[in-house]
Structure 1
Amino acid sequence: MTTPTYQKLERNALGRLVLTDAAGTLHEAVVPVRAHPISAPDEGLSLVGQDGHELAWIDRLSALPAPDRALLEAELASRDFMPTILSIKAVSTYSTPSQWTVQTDRGETQFILRTEEDIRRLGEGRLLIASSHGLQLMLPDRFALDKGSKKILERFL
């Protein structure tokens, strides 16, 4: 198990993360930053102070004590907004730009796909799709999609 390089992690009255480092110094408004948010979200997490400097490094989020892990996961969830595509309902045209209607883990949404290059292959069937407004949508396994979704997606890959 990884031993944290800090003494204590908690929220203050304003809801901001406060880190007490190994020397006992308090650091307010600490921000967790993932080293590899897409390819390895559980590995490599930096706790950064207000000045932008790293205060602590965490090898594995899952190795932390449950209270600290819960605090960091809640903080990361509020910062990392990446809906997961569950199915592709429709596209306006099979050329780009096109408007996509998709079902995500956060409900149905529509976005504009500017070019086929906005669909990034991450390996193992995972795709990252960027909308024209910069929103990133994750498709965790294109091979697990329903038949209709696969048919639509194949036209763009």
Structure 2
Amino acid sequence: MSNPMKNFTLSRNAFGQLCLKTEAGQFYEQVLPVRAFPISLPGECIAIVDRDGQELVWLDDLNQVSADNLIIIKEELANREFMPVLMKISEVSSFATPSTWTVETSRGATQFVLKGEEDIRRISKDTYLISDNHGVQYLIENIQLLDKHSRRLLDRFL
């Protein structure tokens, strides 16, 4: 059941685990913020769940929390979510899968192996998510903003 409670305090215990204290004084260890829509609404629809996945707090918008809680939530999400933005496709080893892709991302240049075309998922009209053979996901925020060469290479797999 969703709890719209906004008066809570987040902290870290001696082991660095995220903890939640409610307005009523209840204390939960090993809580996690979870985005319902990490790509389309990254600052909205966030749940704070306990270690069993039970929802403790629902946030319609991150602006609903105190500045201290906001810092902790953003740090925790950044530590857990690794999704480089793909900015350029320099080369693909083959147009048949599996193929090795050489790309430029928001985190620098890298290579990854695309196992199959099904690992390229359309999220919206111009947004795509590519999963490599290790489960790392690369986000293409807007396919229209890729250079012509990158779009041509990507089109061969769509």
Normalising by structure 2, we get a TM-score of 0.89
The sequence identity of aligned pairs, in percent, is 46
Instruction: Indicate the residue corresponding to 1:35 in structure 2.
Output: 36
Instruction: Indicate the residue corresponding to 2:21 in structure 1.
Output: 20
Asked if the contact 1:6–1:19 (Cα under 8 Å) also holds between the matched residues in 2, the reply is no
* 1:103 Cα deviation after fit: 0.8
RMSD between aligned residues = 1.7
Structure 1 unaligned spans of 5+: none
Instruction: Indicate the residue corresponding to 2:64 in structure 1.
Output: 63
* 1:68 Cα deviation after fit: 1.2
SS at the partner of 1:123? Answer: coil
* 1:80 Cα deviation after fit: 0.8
Normalising by structure 1, we get a TM-score of 0.89
Map 1:122-141; keep pairs closer than 5 Å.
Answer: 122-141=123-142
Map 1:104-115; keep pairs closer than 5 Å.
Answer: 104-115=105-116
SS at the partner of 1:24? Answer: coil
- Alignment deviations for residues 48-98 of structure 1 (CA, whole Å, 9 cap, x no partner): 123332211111123322221111010011011111101111000122221
Distance 2:140 2:113 in 1: 16
* 1:4 Cα deviation after fit: 4.3
Structure 2 unaligned spans of 5+: none
Instruction: Indicate the residue corresponding to 1:77 in structure 2.
Output: 78
- Alignment deviations for residues 12-46 of structure 1 (CA, whole Å, 9 cap, x no partner): 33322221112111212211111122232222111
* 1:133 Cα deviation after fit: 2.0
Matched, 1:86 2:98: no
Distance 1:156 1:91 in 2: 11
